[in-house]
Amino acid sequence: MGARWNQRVVAGTAVGAAAVLASWLGVGTARAATALSIAAVVLVAALALISSSEFRRDHPVVARAAISVAAVDVSLVVTGFFSSTVDSNLAIGAAMSIVLLGLSFLTGSSGQISIGNGAFMGVGAFTVAIWANHHATTPIAVVLLLAVVAGALVGLLLGLPATRLRGPYLAGMTLAFAVAFGAVLNLFSTWTGGDSGLQLPYAVNAPAWLVHFFQPGTSSLTTNSVWLVDVTIVTAGIALFFMANLFASRTGRAMRLVRDNDVAAELVGISLPRARVIAFTVSAAYAALGGGLWTIINNAVTPATYGFALSITILSLVVIGGIGTIPGALIGGLIYAFAASVIAWFTAHTGLNPQGNVASQLNGIIFGGLLVLTILFAPTGIAGFVRRRWAAWRSR
Amino acid sequence: MGSFLTSRNVADVLGGLTNGVIYSLVALSLVLVWRSTRILNFAQGAMAMIAAYIGFAVLAPTTNYWVSMAVAIIAGLVLGGLTERVIVRGLYGKPEINPVVAMVGFLLVLESVAAAIWSTTSRGLPTPFSIVDWQINHKPVALSPFALYEIVTAVVVMTVIALLFQFTKLGLKLRAAALAPEVSRLLGVRVGRMLTLGWMLSSGVGAVTAVLVASNYFTGLTPTTMDGVFAFGFIAAAIGGLDSPVGALVSGVSLGIILQFVGDYLNSNDIILVALGMLIVSLMVRPNGVFTRSAQRRV
Amino acid sequence: MIRANGLSVTYGAVQALRDVTFTAETGAITAVLGANGAGKTTLLRAISGLVAPRSGTVSLDETTLTGERPEDIVRRGVGHVPEGRGVIAEFTVEENLRLGAMISPMPLRDGLNQQYEWFPVLGERRKQAAATLSGGERQMLAMARALIAKPTVLLLDEPSLGLAPLVTAQLMHTVSELCATTGLTVILVEQNAKSALRIARRAVVLYLGRVVADDDAAAVAQDDQLRQYYLGMVK
């Protein structure tokens, strides 16, 4: 740790101190400012760790944890300043980015693709709702873990043929699963509530001590959406951390070698039967986690949400964001968070009838079109495009 | 004899046969492009749906079924050719998931565009024959004139395709281009043209299928009419082996009949589940399909 | 007469052919010899249009072939029997031949009869799937399929590969007879230098994509150094 390391610490501390000072001056209550100060200190510490290349090399796992912490830290602070609408969108998008991380890993590590991850999301979403309706006292973190386990089990079951299947066959099978998922739910309609789905028996609220800290004297946060988005972001951060380690594992490294070698070969992975099943299972588990979070955010679940269309949307997002990469999944989540708003804005400003056929189909036309164009002309998506531009810019 | 023909099991076989030939046509359509271009066309159903809309919606004033059918087939041929030239051509030699993604995207575009133009409201198509079942001794046989027409049409389409491939110069070139593209070029076959033709034929078969489906099922024609049919057709093709036209036909009809029994003796919700189960089991046992010899597989 | 002029071909970073120039005389067999990876197959692929050269040209008599597509080059009379024969195993013998006859000016029946005359065994097996043929029979089928289109130039890529010496000798004999009776120009790529030199008029030796010798076949056969270093012939 030489002179540059010290410079970084000094600079980071200075920035952190400035942020703390600014927060004390700019934020209304002393307690909010305290929270901001803590966030600033955590961020500076995390950034200090990440910025050292020696540290990244010697302690890669801790460095990845620091990256996740830094990302979560910034996101949490930022959500406090947004409207509840934006926060809800972000929560939905953050949950989606977990789903996309899973699919990205599947493709990146095995060259396989799933068109059924919407259904795996449904597995998680219904697991959470069913469990919560029968055991209302189970802590929410445990319920989410159950959703992950359920997703992994279903994924394993469907993924077993994946050891022997070539890509298009597997894709077709996942498509059949996505189409059949409604019937699966119907089969267990006494548990899943049939067409109307299920309500959560309780709203997921912030714990009392936290409410007390920020808004002494009130029983809950004024906007629950902040709490929900924060829960989602923290979960996404944990998912990101695990995924980063998976990507860096032996399988992940082999996959990256192939990927960075050639633009055309970008999507080709290594082909080990066991790795394939694991990747498929992981991707299903991640999808289930995202679905479980959606149930918590919406406080309800309906089967219609988890139809074939969702699976296609997931595929679009991961390809447009940049398949097989972590940033691609996060970009896809962000796109999903704001796509509806952007399209609504577009509709409003082009004078389309918002209730008309064209306006209601814009989403599909745009996503489908982007999906085709991306795979034809920029198969590495936004993440790959930015990475190449960045590399070109640096090598100039 | 009469009571036999109107019995429950015969009814299931006949009903299953009527559905099964539809699955066979979808499977055949998939096999046609898989063999030549190694692409599983996930947009097959959506392309067929568009062709049916063009046949029947664009020509709404013309109430002649046969004119509309002809227009739908031509639309299907053109759409298939355009798809190959504009989208698929850029996907040859790419990682195998690229075409999957592209065709799923195309599916989304087609369904959205269809809904934007023609709305998601179902429209009933005219039927050239009665859809009321024939009766023996005042009991219905599970076969209507329309169902028979469906079966006959499917048989005609399959026969035409088989004759074309087996006994014509063009068929020889189409098969050669699919089996050995480079050698074919060395023998003067314009392989690019053959691939386009293969997609056109496949899409033409799809157009016929979609018109049959939309005029038979109570759902009528909607942008998503073909989703379920496509899923069953794919399952049939995958079980039979995507390389085998014969496999497509046999497993399509078998699937139709088996599922009819499932729907009758269990319940209609279980149909897709049983189909999914059959797909998973068959893919685990024979990953390349029941009718494909593994040595025949080429990359 | 077919002529390559300054032909260079690269695959990615690998240079498969470097500035190759040679002439194959009309009505004669020109042998192209060399070890594995010398660029022999690439040379044939460049002539028939399967690979685009980075520079240089190929011309047939007065016309330039470079830049044309393989399906057009074969229509100009350049038949190519590719490495590994390229027989379509799922087709019957006759279907293979019919495919080759598509661009022939002759009526199909006459073309088939002529080939069955040259290669009687193919006539006997015309209804059999090509997959059931032996290696030698497959090679005959591949040659017949190219010849039925009435080419003026025939490119043969390692016809002797995997064949028994006796079969090879028979095959070489057929090739030389074809050449003599029909005025066919043959470019014969071979690793089996000995049998190729026996029937060739001229020989071109490639080494790492470069022409290291271009001379009368007899002279190449006599050249001990060439034989030892480039052709791996001990005796």
Digit-coded pLDDT (tens) for B193-208: 999 999 999 999 999 9
User: Would you state the pLDDT for residue B233?
Assistant: 94
Q: Determine, yes or no, domain membership for B168.
A: yes
User: Would you state the pLDDT for residue A396?
Assistant: 73
Q: Pick the range with the lowest mean pLDDT from A349-363, B258-272, C168-182.
A: A349-363
- pTM here is 0.86
In whole angstroms, give the CA distance from residue A247 to residue A40: 29
In whole angstroms, give the CA distance from residue C44 to residue C65: 13
Task: Quickly tell me which residue has 């005029």 as its tokens.
Answer: B215
User: Would you state the pLDDT for residue A264?
Assistant: 34
**How confident is residue B35, by pLDDT bands cut at 50, 70 and 90?**
confident
Selected residue of A163, A319, A343, A371 to mutate for chain B interface (largest B Cβ count, 10 A): A371
Structure tokens at A321: 């964001």
Tell me the per-residue pLDDT of C7-45, one tens digit each, with 9 for 90 and over: 999 988 888 899 999 999 998 999 999 888 888 999 999
Helices A308-321 and A357-377, packing angle to 10 deg = 50
Selected residue of C99, C112, C132 to mutate for chain B interface (largest B Cβ count, 10 A): C99
Q: Determine, yes or no, domain membership for B202.
A: yes
Using a CB-CB distance cutoff of 8 angstroms, which residues of chain B are in contact with residue A112? 97
Reading phi first (left if > 0) and then psi (alpha if -120 to 50, else beta), residue C27 is in: left
Give yes or no for a contact between A329 and A100, defined as CB atoms under 8 angstroms apart. Answer: yes
Q: How far separated are the first and last CA of chain B, in Å rounded? A: 52
Chain B: partners with 3+ C-beta pairs within 8 Å: A, C
Across the interface, whether the CB atoms of B183 and C82 are under 8 A apart is answered yes
Q: Determine, yes or no, domain membership for A315.
A: yes
User: Would you state the pLDDT for residue A168?
Assistant: 79
**Chain A neighbours among B 188-207 (CB < 8 Å)?**
none
Helix (H, G, I), strand (E, B) or coil at C213: strand
Residue A143's closest CA among A121, A118, A119, A125?
A125
Distances (CA, A) of B145 to A353, B152, B215, B216: 44, 10, 13, 11
Interface residue C50 vs chain B (CB under 8 A) = yes
Q: Determine, yes or no, domain membership for B112.
A: yes
Q: Determine, yes or no, domain membership for B257.
A: no
Interface residue B97 vs chain A (CB under 8 A) = yes
Q: Pick the range with the lowest mean pLDDT from A205-214, A238-247, B85-94, C128-137.
A: A205-214
In whole angstroms, give the CA distance from residue C17 to residue C6: 9
Phi/psi of residue A82, nearest 5 degrees: -90, 165
Give yes or no for a contact between B212 and B255, defined as CB atoms under 8 angstroms apart. Answer: no
Q: Label the pairing between strands C153-157 and C78-81.
A: parallel
Give yes or no for a contact between A183 and B270, defined as CB atoms under 8 angstroms apart. Answer: yes
What secondary structure letter does DSSP report for B123?
B
Domain housing B44? 19-225
Using a CB-CB distance cutoff of 8 angstroms, which residues of chain B are in contact with residue A167? 96-97, 100
Mean pLDDT of chain B: 88
Mean pLDDT of chain C: 90
CA dihedral of residues A24, A30, A36, A39 (deg, nearest 10): 120
Helix (H, G, I), strand (E, B) or coil at C17: strand
In whole angstroms, give the CA distance from residue A354 to residue A362: 10
Selected residue of A179, A192, A276, A355 to mutate for chain B interface (largest B Cβ count, 10 A): A179
Across the interface, whether the CB atoms of A361 and B116 are under 8 A apart is answered yes
Q: Determine, yes or no, domain membership for A90.
A: yes
User: Would you state the pLDDT for residue A292?
Assistant: 95
Residue A333's closest CA among A31, A5, A102, A177?
A102
> Quick one: how far is CA B217 from the chain centroid?
15
Tell me the per-residue pLDDT of C77-108, one tens digit each, with 9 for 90 and over: 999 999 888 899 999 999 999 999 999 888 99
Q: Is C76 exposed, middle or buried (0-12, 13-18, 19+ CB in 10 A)?
A: middle
Q: Determine, yes or no, domain membership for B281.
A: no
Residue B290's closest CA among B240, B233, B253?
B240
**How confident is residue C56, by pLDDT bands cut at 50, 70 and 90?**
very high
Structure tokens at B102: 């592209």
User: Would you state the pLDDT for residue B142?
Assistant: 81
Q: Determine, yes or no, domain membership for A9.
A: no
Q: Determine, yes or no, domain membership for A27.
A: no
Give yes or no for a contact between C22 and C204, defined as CB atoms under 8 angstroms apart. Answer: yes
Domain housing A209? 84-394
Helices A250-261 and A273-298, packing angle to 10 deg = 100
Distance (Å) from the C-alpha of residue C51 to the closest C-alpha of chain B? 11
Q: Determine, yes or no, domain membership for B279.
A: no
In whole angstroms, give the CA distance from residue B12 to residue B27: 21
Across the interface, whether the CB atoms of A267 and B98 are under 8 A apart is answered yes
Across the interface, whether the CB atoms of A183 and B270 are under 8 A apart is answered yes
pLDDT, one tens digit for every residue, chain A (396 residues) = 455 656 666 776 777 677 666 666 665 666 677 777 777 778 888 887 787 778 788 888 888 888 888 888 888 878 777 777 888 889 999 999 999 999 998 887 777 888 899 999 999 999 999 999 988 888 888 999 999 999 999 999 888 876 667 667 888 888 888 988 988 888 888 888 888 888 888 777 777 667 666 665 555 455 566 788 888 999 999 999 998 888 877 666 655 554 444 333 334 444 556 677 888 899 999 999 999 999 999 889 999 899 888 999 999 999 999 988 889 999 999 999 998 888 888 888 887 777 788 888 888 999 999 999 999 998 889 998 888 888 888 887
Contacts of B60 (CB under 8 A, 6+ apart): none
Tell me the per-residue pLDDT of B216-227, one tens digit each, with 9 for 90 and over: 756 688 998 898
In whole angstroms, give the CA distance from residue A132 to residue A139: 9
Contacts of C210 (CB under 8 A, 6+ apart): C18, C19, C20
Chain C: partners with 3+ C-beta pairs within 8 Å: B
Give yes or no for a contact between B195 and B36, defined as CB atoms under 8 angstroms apart. Answer: yes
Task: Quickly tell me which residue has 């002539």 as its tokens.
Answer: C47
Q: Is A367 exposed, middle or buried (0-12, 13-18, 19+ CB in 10 A)?
A: buried
User: Would you state the pLDDT for residue A268?
Assistant: 47
Q: How many domains does chain A have?
A: 1
Q: Pick the range with the lowest mean pLDDT from A142-151, B118-127, B235-244, C57-66.
A: B118-127
Q: Determine, yes or no, domain membership for A46.
A: no
Across the interface, whether the CB atoms of C69 and B185 are under 8 A apart is answered yes
CATH code: domain of residue A124: 1.10.3470
Q: How many domains does chain B have?
A: 1
User: Would you state the pLDDT for residue B294?
Assistant: 46
Q: Pick the range with the lowest mean pLDDT from A155-164, B1-10, C108-117, C204-213.
A: B1-10
User: Would you state the pLDDT for residue C62?
Assistant: 86
Residue B37's closest CA among B104, B83, B105, B106?
B83
In whole angstroms, give the CA distance from residue C31 to residue B235: 53
